[in-house]
Amino acid sequence: MDSFNKDLTEEQRLMKQSCRNFIDRVVAPFLREEWQREWNMDPAERLPDRILKAADDISIRTLGVPEKYGGVELNPETEIRSFAIIAEEIARGDSGLADKLVQNWKVAVLLRNLAAEHLQKKWFTRLVEEHGLLFAHCLTEPKGASDRWLPYNVPEAAMDTIAQKIDGGWKINGRKQFISNGFDAGLYVVYANTRPGSGMLEGTSSFLVPRETPGLEVVRCNETIGCRFMNNGEIYFSDCYVPYDHLLCEGEALSKAAVYFRPGKIIQAAKNLGVGVSAFEKTSLFVQTYERGGKMLIKHQAVASRLADMATRITAVRTLLNQAAYSVDTRSSDSDVLCNMAKVYASQEILKVCQNALELHGGMGAMLDVGIEKLYRDATIFLHMDATVDISHFKIVKAMFPETAGRYAGPEN
């Protein structure tokens, strides 16, 4: 299952091994010994502080942050591929932890492309110095989620969150929902409508909003069935004032955010892949350890067939993911199509891998303290993270057939 390692650079091999050691020595023992913490209804008590501190020891919380601010820069020619390698390894341990960390990576890419120099210095320095600091990207709203990922450029799909220009800055009002790291983040990138009546691609702006800003309220932690070590949140903005220099991009924020969205799709597929690899590794060990009917489980033809199916699906996902990541790194014209293909394909295939793992473990697969049902729950989340399956399909068709694909929003002609 690891034959693709021959194509990695020396830097990537070292990063992969460091992450694998971190998972095996720190994360896996924690999950075995303290599996109940996943169900703690106090979000602050779920993931021990020592886990993020250990992540800092191998510098994976500050990937993508420029070296001049103390971060870890990756080779720009292979950056997205490197993100994918690291995300897969972390998700092999826990997908919620992976999601917690990768939000920082993706927002770091966005900030270094769009934020003013003094804001980069302030927030990148804080990110490096404060081991618990997390970033969040606030796009989804109660009345609009995956449809904003299309995007069809019509006012009917515009943000409900509104930002109005006032003396010296902007006043933001609205609500964001289902935000990764939303409950814990210290800094939010917030998208808002600044030109009501305009299409989304002309009327959406983005802002940097620190958590302590008056008018920003973290309303709740959304309790999910999987990925529970990342605290998903809902945020409310009431006359939330930010100074003018905290505007990242006016009017064209969705277009400019492609530097965030494309790596995001790759990382999403890679996290999903990591869950599948974990399911395969655990199941492979199980069927070669336990006996039923006088034979080792793997010697039963039905079991062997399922195991081969799991391996095939994982390899197919990795192959498409590698192609998509290479496309983004090389800025190929087909990168948007491949990103969405990789994301949606991984979400569907890895869920099947985890279903096989659950069933091959028999009754043990349903036991909370075994950890297989957790992988299945985590895999279900990926069907609608970074856009639902159907919306991803719409985007693929829209990119392939821009002149004839159907309209999703707005009046029919």
Hey, where are the domains in the chain? 3-134, 136-255, 256-400
In the chain, the percentage of residues whose pLDDT exceeds 90 is 78
Structure tokens at 94: 């826990």
Low-confidence stretches of the chain (pLDDT beneath 70): 1-6, 147-152, 407-413
* Domain 3-134 bears CATH identifier 1.10.540.10: yes
The helix/strand/coil state of 292 is strand
| CATH T-level fold of 256-400 | Butyryl-CoA Dehydrogenase, subunit A; domain 3 (1.20.140)
What is the dihedral angle through the alpha carbons of 86, 180, 93, 15, rounded to the nearest 10 degrees? Answer: 20
**What is residue 374's predicted lDDT score, i.e. its pLDDT?**
97
| CATH among 1.10.8.60, 3.40.1350.10, 2.40.110.10, 3.40.640.10 for 136-255 | 2.40.110.10
- Looking only at the bridges linking them, the beta strands covering 291-292 and 216-221 are unpaired
Structure tokens at 373: 């049902």
CA distance 196 to 203: 7
Task: State pTM to two decimals.
Answer: 0.93
**What is residue 408's predicted lDDT score, i.e. its pLDDT?**
66
**What is residue 201's predicted lDDT score, i.e. its pLDDT?**
81
Neighbour tally for 125: CB within 10 Å: 15
